[in-house]
Amino acid sequence: MVTSASSSAIGPIFNFHSTPVFNWISPEGYFSAYPALTCARRGLLNPMSLSRSRFVPALPSLIVRTCLEHYYKRGFDIRRNPACWPNDIHVCSSSADCPISTRNVVDAGCMFMPFEDEAREEWDRPKAVPYDSPYILFWYLGGPSCDGRRRVCDGYVSLRADADDERFIQ
């Protein structure tokens, strides 16, 4: 069981150790935040899961290393950013697979596969989740820049209400 400190039940998912677990199943269908990476058995290490210490770069805790080992044994290749994979071409800070891109549950980089028969006809390509909640969840993994610059950004997960309600909940 996972407990959420906010009104969003899915918020804690974006604090897990890596992107292969940024998925969930609801009564409406299946959601994946990083479908291209997950289907390629690749993943990004979530900098928010790293322990703050004197080591640079920060190292995963023992619990996180144990979790990552399970994924490595299943054939996943988990890295700090896409630039660590040879021949990767992505636009740093704007690609859906970049850890320093701000993402949300309704952006085109996500995938939602509905369970309803009528919606299954549209499964020919991944699409943004048809999220009808008045709240939209945003996340930003942060961490070191993919382009080699020495900047490091802190990650966050935030819940924003719809346009009629301008409150932000973090």
* Residue 138 is assigned to a structural domain of this protein: yes
Residue in 18, 32, 33 with CA at minimum distance from that of residue 103 = 33
* Residue 129 is assigned to a structural domain of this protein: yes
* Residue 145 is assigned to a structural domain of this protein: yes
Q: What is the pLDDT of residues 94-135, one digit of tens each?
A: 899 999 999 998 888 998 887 776 655 555 444 444 445 556
* Residue 5 is assigned to a structural domain of this protein: no
Question: From the centroid of its chain, how far is CA 47?
Answer: 11
* Residue 4 is assigned to a structural domain of this protein: no
Tally of domains within the chain: 1
* Residue 21 is assigned to a structural domain of this protein: yes
Give me the pLDDT at residue 128, please: 44
Domain ranges, residue 73: 11-169
Among 23-32, 110-119, 156-165, name the one with the lowest average pLDDT: 156-165
* Residue 54 is assigned to a structural domain of this protein: yes
